[in-house]
Structure 1
Amino acid sequence: MQNSELKTPYFMIDESKLIHNLEIAKKLKEISGVKLVLALKCFSTWGVFDIIKPYLDGTTSSGPFEVQLGYETFGGETHAYSVGYSEDDVKAVVEQCDKMIFNSQNQLAAYRHLVEGKASLGLRLNPGVSYAGQDLANPARKFSRLGVQAGHIDPAVFDTIEGVMFHMNCENKDVDAFIGLLDDISANFGEYLDRLQWVSLGGGVFFTWPGYDVEKLGCALKLFSEKHGVQLYLEPGEAIITQTTDLVVTVVDIVENEMKTAIVDSATEAHRLDTLIYDEPASIAEADEQGRHEYVIGSCSCLAGDQFCVARFEKPLQQGQRLHIMDSAGYTMVKLNWFNGLRMPSVYCRRSTGDIELLNEFDYSDFKRSLSQWSVS
């Protein structure tokens, strides 16, 4: 099967690029002794878990269905966390998880009796410090509901749990900044950590970014683990799948209103939502910063401001031309929706052999079933 035969829009995951990231993850584990659990909230395309499983130790979740997915399709350790569990949620996942992490002391007190003897109990703490580019993604933002703040901790709780989870990073590419957060946590929470078996430091540590000092990170994690006598976990998502996947689209029209807009058969609101939410322009593989021809890459949705980016090209774009929207895996496929009834992108994987494998495709019946299932009499 050739790329030109595939109907756009579609995602193409590149196995070789994925393995490149996973080899870096393997190196980090060897240096530090840290265990890595894949953050399913970022990437849940289980059709490529066969590639990832040999490198990582399990999965972590943010909701009940993610727990079940990790348990059924990935194996290893299954960590369950939610900002707000219902009793039914706890009962549904407790038999499937190895660790259950509660967001508050209230939830821990209410449901611990359902977990004890079945899974290791944990509590999320909010260190009050963080590294995040935007306030929307900042776990330590003002009035944060995420985790227990230091001033609200009941010290007695650490006699009744085995571990804690901190999550205070979002796309942190600065190893020194992360080590600073580690030092802060050690100084302010060390007396509690010394009483525990395990500590998760969450996700958002971009250790696969080009030039990142993985050895320095690994040594810092090892030192922290030994100082407090705990098994450390990281919860990578973006770090595992960054730069592995393109969203391939076709130019279906070109319109002009002071600027030229190339309309493609996809939309940020439906297929690449974080581009819209965080106002972070996408990157186009075919673009040329020195090109003379500038275009808005606009979506085919009805939302007036729905566009992927502004980009320059060496030659004028043509109707029917394909474009590759790069780095379209993290927080993308997990957020797909049916806005405007647009065609949902298919999902493919280009294996290291060069073979292209279909992982999923969608049609009208999927759209219809997502809206109602029962017939109307």
Structure 2
Amino acid sequence: MQKSELKTPYFMIDESKLIHNLEIAKQLKDISGVKLVLALKCFSTWGVFDIIKPYLDGTTSSGPYEVRLGHETFGGETHAYSVGYSEDDVKAVADICDKMIFNSQSQLAAYRHLVEGKVSLGLRLNPGVSYAGQDLANPARQFSRLGVQADHLDSSVFESIDGVMFHMNCENKDVDAFIRLLESISTQFGTYLDQLDWVSLGGGVFFTWPGYDVKKLGMALKAFAEKHNVHLYLEPGEAIITRTTDLVVSVVDIVENEMKTAIVDSATEAHRLDTLIYNEPASVYESSQNGEHEYVIGSCSCLAGDQFCIAKFDQPLEIGQKLHLMDSAGYTMVKLNWFNGLRMPSVYCERSNGEVQKLNEFDYTDFKRSLSQWSVQ
């Protein structure tokens, strides 16, 4: 299968780039002794788990279907976490997870009898400090519902759990900032941590970012683990798949209203939702910083403000031209939806040997089935 023959829109995962990130993850593990579990909320495209599995230790989840997917398709350790479990959720995953992490002391008390003796029990704690660029993604934001604050803790809870989870980072590229967060939780919770078997420090630590001091991070994690005599986990998502995947689109029209807009056969609302939610413009591989031809890269949805970015090009864009929207793996395929009944992007992986492998494709029947399956008689 040749890339030139593929119909847009589609995602293209690059195996070589993925392995590059995974080798950095291996380096971090070797230095620190930390275990890494893939955050499925960020990336769940199980068709490439064969590439990832040799490097990571398992998966972590935010809902019952992710737990099942991790158990069935990844293996290793399967961590189950949810902001709000139902009784059915707990029963559904009790026999297929290794660790179950509750978000509150009340949920722990309500459901522990269903899993005790089957899993290692954990509780999410909220240290009140975090590193996040936007308030929407800040676990320590005002009135946060995520985890138990230090002044709300019943100390007796530590007698009946095995570990805790902190998630306090979002795209943290600053190793020194992360170390300060480690020091903060050690100061606040150190006495409790000393009683536990394991601590998960969550995700959002961008250790594969260019120039990141992986050795410094690894040594800090090792020191923390030794200080409190615990096994450490990180839950990377973006760090594993960053800069591995393009969303490839085609220009279908060019319109002008004070500024030229190239309309493409994709939409942020349906195919790259975080571009819209966080107002973080996409980057276009074909663009040029000093190009003379400037365009809005607009979607084909009916939402007026639905656009990918503004970009400059050395040459005028043409209808039918393909554009590569870079770094489109994290929080994209897990958030795809059928808004406007748009064609869903296919998913491919370009293997290291140059072979292009189809992982998934969608058609009208998928759209129709997502809305109703049985007719009313």
What's the CA shift for 1:375? 2.2
Residue 319 of structure 1 aligns with which residue?
319
Residue 336 of structure 1 aligns with which residue?
336
Separation in structure 2 between the aligned mates of residue 265 and residue 54 of structure 1, nearest angstrom: 36
Secondary structure at the counterpart of residue 20 of structure 2: helix
Amino acid paired to 1:348: Y
Q: CA RMSD in A?
A: 0.3
Map 1:177-326 → 2, pairs under 5 A: 177-326=177-326
Secondary structure at the counterpart of residue 362 of structure 2: coil
Residue 359 of structure 1 aligns with which residue?
359
TM-score (norm 2): 1.00
Runs of 4+ in 1 over 2 A off after TM superposition: none
What's the CA shift for 1:376? 3.2
Secondary structure at the counterpart of residue 38 of structure 2: strand
Secondary structure at the counterpart of residue 108 of structure 1: helix
What's the CA shift for 1:4? 1.0
Separation in structure 1 between the aligned mates of residue 319 and residue 38 of structure 2, nearest angstrom: 39
Amino acid paired to 2:48: V
Paired residues in the alignment total 377
Separation in structure 1 between the aligned mates of residue 293 and residue 210 of structure 2, nearest angstrom: 30
Residue 26 of structure 2 aligns with which residue?
26
Amino acid paired to 2:325: I
Separation in structure 2 between the aligned mates of residue 329 and residue 96 of structure 1, nearest angstrom: 27
Amino acid paired to 2:196: L
Secondary structure at the counterpart of residue 55 of structure 1: coil
Identity score, percent: 84
Residue 78 of structure 1 aligns with which residue?
78
Residue 47 of structure 2 aligns with which residue?
47
Residue 15 of structure 2 aligns with which residue?
15
Separation in structure 2 between the aligned mates of residue 234 and residue 366 of structure 1, nearest angstrom: 35
Separation in structure 1 between the aligned mates of residue 94 and residue 212 of structure 2, nearest angstrom: 37
Amino acid paired to 1:99: K
**What does the per-residue CA deviation read over 1:41-95, in whole Å, with 9 as the maximum and x for residues that have no partner?**
0000000000000000000000000000000000000000000000000000010
**What does the per-residue CA deviation read over 1:152-184, in whole Å, with 9 as the maximum and x for residues that have no partner?**
000000000000000000000000000000000
Q: Which stretches in structure 1 are left out of the alignment for 5+ residues?
A: none
Secondary structure at the counterpart of residue 260 of structure 1: strand
Separation in structure 1 between the aligned mates of residue 49 and residue 96 of structure 2, nearest angstrom: 18
Separation in structure 1 between the aligned mates of residue 316 and residue 201 of structure 2, nearest angstrom: 47
Separation in structure 1 between the aligned mates of residue 168 and residue 208 of structure 2, nearest angstrom: 18
Separation in structure 2 between the aligned mates of residue 57 and residue 109 of structure 1, nearest angstrom: 29
Secondary structure at the counterpart of residue 195 of structure 2: coil
Separation in structure 2 between the aligned mates of residue 249 and residue 257 of structure 1, nearest angstrom: 22
TM-score (norm 1): 1.00
Separation in structure 2 between the aligned mates of residue 39 and residue 114 of structure 1, nearest angstrom: 25
Secondary structure at the counterpart of residue 362 of structure 1: coil
Separation in structure 1 between the aligned mates of residue 295 and residue 49 of structure 2, nearest angstrom: 37
Secondary structure at the counterpart of residue 21 of structure 1: helix
Separation in structure 1 between the aligned mates of residue 364 and residue 17 of structure 2, nearest angstrom: 32
Secondary structure at the counterpart of residue 296 of structure 1: strand
Map 1:54-65 → 2, pairs under 5 A: 54-65=54-65
Q: Which stretches in structure 2 are left out of the alignment for 5+ residues?
A: none
**What does the per-residue CA deviation read over 1:190-221, in whole Å, with 9 as the maximum and x for residues that have no partner?**
00000000000000000000000000000000
Amino acid paired to 1:317: L
What's the CA shift for 1:2? 1.2
Separation in structure 2 between the aligned mates of residue 359 and residue 226 of structure 1, nearest angstrom: 42
Amino acid paired to 1:53: K
**What does the per-residue CA deviation read over 1:323-363, in whole Å, with 9 as the maximum and x for residues that have no partner?**
00000000000000000000000000000000000000000
Secondary structure at the counterpart of residue 173 of structure 2: coil
Secondary structure at the counterpart of residue 366 of structure 1: helix
Amino acid paired to 1:359: L
Secondary structure at the counterpart of residue 204 of structure 2: coil
